[in-house]
Every structure is written in structure tokens, then in C-alpha cells.
Amino acid sequence: MVASQFNAEYVRGLVDHTTTELRKLYPHTTVTTHQVPGAFEIPVVVRELAAHKKADAIIAVGVILQGKTNHAENLSRSVTDALQRIAVDYAVPVINVVLCFDNEAQARERCLEDQINRGTEAARAALEITNLMADLRAK
């Protein structure tokens, strides 16, 4: 996992839910978290991990809160585009959990609570795509 330190409470909620779900579904998995200052720095560390084949899947975690300008939208789009490019270029699944929210209520609901936690969903997606890629590579 590569996780932003910005909006730490929400990111920590996503990381905790992701880790818990990964260990529940696949108890022998190794989960390593690399922290970066903010969402903008996530892709460079994801690329480094992908380039060195350090993981079967990489989960990128960050929270961007919308302000009064379009900065959050631009940042979110830039990070998403970079993560997709890395996944395709290096053939390593990258699960994008760099989330942009309009307000803290949305962030709280999707990062801290259990009902629709995006970290839990990210863990499930990572395991599913990892298994699919292993099957495809074995053929």
C-alpha cells in the first residue's frame, strides 16, 4: 500500500479497513504500507514498487477534500491518470483508493464507517485481480 499522510484520519481509516479485510480473506498475505506526504506523491512510489516487481498488487490510498477552487479535481484526475498508466505500463494491478470528496461527511462515511468502506472494497478488488492475473500468467 502507498498511503498519503494528508487528511490522516480518513486515510488511516481506509488503511486499517484494507489491512483488516486483506488479513481476513487471505491470512498469510504480507501487507506493507509506504507513507508519502500527499496524494500527488503517491504515483512516484507506486511506480517504483511496480518497476521493481515488489508486489502482486499495489493499493494507492489518499483522501482529497474539495475546496473552493478546482485544485482537488485537478489533483484527483492527475493521480488517477498516473496510477492507470503505471498499472498498464508495468502490468501490475494498481487499486486506486485516492478518493475525492465534496465534504467531510462523505469522507467519514466511506473511510471510517463499515457500511460502505472503500478500504474494504479495495482489499477485495486487490485479491480478485491478483488471482485473475495469476491465472492468466499460468496459462
Where in the sequence numbering do the catalytic residues fall?
71
CA distance 62 to 76: 10
> What is the signed CA dihedral for 124, 127, 133, 136, rounded to 10 degrees?
-90
Show the cell assigned to 64.
482529497
CA distance linking residue 100 with residue 88, whole number of Å: 23
Place of cell 484527483: 76
Where do the H-state alpha helices sit in the chain? 8-25, 42-51, 71-90, 104-111, 118-138
